Amino acid sequence: MRIDIISIFPDYFAPLDLSLIGRARASGLLDVRVHDLRSWTHDRHNTVDDTPYGGGPGMVMKPEPWGEALDEVVAGAPARLILPTPSGRPFRQADAERLAGEERLVFGCGRYEGIDSRVAADAALRMPVEEVSIGDYVLNGGESATLVMVEAITRLLPGVLGNTESAVQDSFASGGMENLVEGPVYTKPVMWRDQEVPPVLLSGNHGAVDRWRRDQALRKTARNRPDLVGAMPEEALDRRDREV
Ligand SMILES: N#Cc1ccccc1Cn1ccc2ccc(-c3cc(N)[nH]n3)cc21
């Protein structure tokens, strides 16, 4: 997969040189290229913003640098443009799985009060464009949202997670009945500050461990994410779980 990121803060993406994504890039498994939008400005001050038509607070990102940047970065090769924005469609695990199947993604990171709306409209003449929100809160720009989405997407690519991790068992399994959050996890020592590891996990009884883990996940989901429990089909809850 090739990912291009366009931003006025390219250094924001230094974390993509680290850890699993950094290793995947170094091994050639993943091709991530970060571009400074100001490379496509032509004035002395490298201007990327201007006042909003119709008045209002703040500034809006000018369309010209974006148009030239996308023309050069995409360069006719099929790519999907992802534009983080507070007003976008919610980004979910199912979107991460869907986008992990793409050959090329381009992330356009806005700042100020956003990017001139004609940029998305013009790009949509040549490629699929998605305006996406990572949550109902307002960030200062698209960079953090892009880091979140790039991590959620690329961790699903074959070979990116090491042998000790697995995306298969992740919670938020999209589409299946197990719309559950992760339950508690434990490791050595068996006793720590007067807290012992639940004995079932030491029993070697895999059936009992699986049932216990599912029960704990249901309880945690009911406690922290009642919205997910409501969406769970009745048959997914056995009699014991209905007491949660
Ligand atoms: N647009 C806008 C905007 C509108 C009003 C106030 C502040 C901003 C800042 N901003 C500029 C670019 C940009 C990109 C993504 C987000 C973003 C995404 C999520 N999920 N929250 N915030 C915010 C962004």
Cα-Cα end-to-end distance for the chain? 42
pLDDT top residue among 229 and 59: 59
Mean pLDDT of all residues in 58-81: 96
pLDDT of amino acid 76: 79
pLDDT tens string 143-152: 999 999 999 9
pLDDT tens string 173-205: 554 346 899 999 999 999 999 999 999 999 999
126 burial type by CB count under 10 A (0-12 exposed, 13-18 middle, 19+ buried): middle
Residue 113 has pLDDT above 90, yes or no: yes
Q: How far apart are CA 83 and CA 124, in angstroms?
A: 12
Q: Tell me, using a 6 A CB cutoff, whether residue 111 lines ligand 1.
A: yes
Q: Tell me, using a 6 A CB cutoff, whether residue 60 lines ligand 1.
A: no
Strands 104-108 and 191-192: unpaired
Q: Tell me, using a 6 A CB cutoff, whether residue 142 lines ligand 1.
A: yes
127 confidence band (pLDDT: 50, 70, 90) = very high
The percent of residues above 90 in pLDDT, for the chain, comes to 85
- Whether 108 and 70 have beta carbons less than 8 Å apart is answered as yes
- Tell me the best of 49, 85, 113 to mutate to test the pocket of ligand 1, counting ligand atoms within 8 Å of each CB and taking the most: 85
**Structure token digits, residue 205:** 């009884």
Q: Tell me, using a 6 A CB cutoff, whether residue 10 lines ligand 1.
A: no
229 confidence band (pLDDT: 50, 70, 90) = confident
pTM of the entire predicted model: 0.91
Lowest mean pLDDT among 46-50, 97-101, 183-187, 238-242: 238-242
Interface ipTM = 0.97
User: For residue 17, which amino acid is it?
Assistant: D
Among 83, 82, 41, 44, residue whose Cα is nearest residue 62? 41
Mean pLDDT of all residues in 211-228: 96
Q: Tell me, using a 6 A CB cutoff, whether residue 7 lines ligand 1.
A: no
Q: Give the ligand 1 atom nearest the CA of 91.
A: 20
Mean pLDDT of all residues in 133-153: 98
CA nearest ligand 1 atom 13, residue? 141
Q: How far apart are CA 89 and CA 68, in angstroms?
A: 26
CA nearest ligand 1 atom 24, residue? 141
213 confidence band (pLDDT: 50, 70, 90) = very high
Q: How far apart are CA 213 and CA 91, in angstroms?
A: 27
CA nearest ligand 1 atom 19, residue? 86
Please provide the size of the chain in residues: 244
* DSSP string for residues in 56-80: -SS-EE-HHHHHHHHHHHHTTS--E
Q: How far apart are CA 72 and CA 121, in angstroms?
A: 17
pLDDT of amino acid 162: 77
Q: CA-based Rg of the chain, rounded to a whole angstrom?
A: 22
Between the CA of 111 and the centroid of ligand 1 the distance, in Å, is: 7
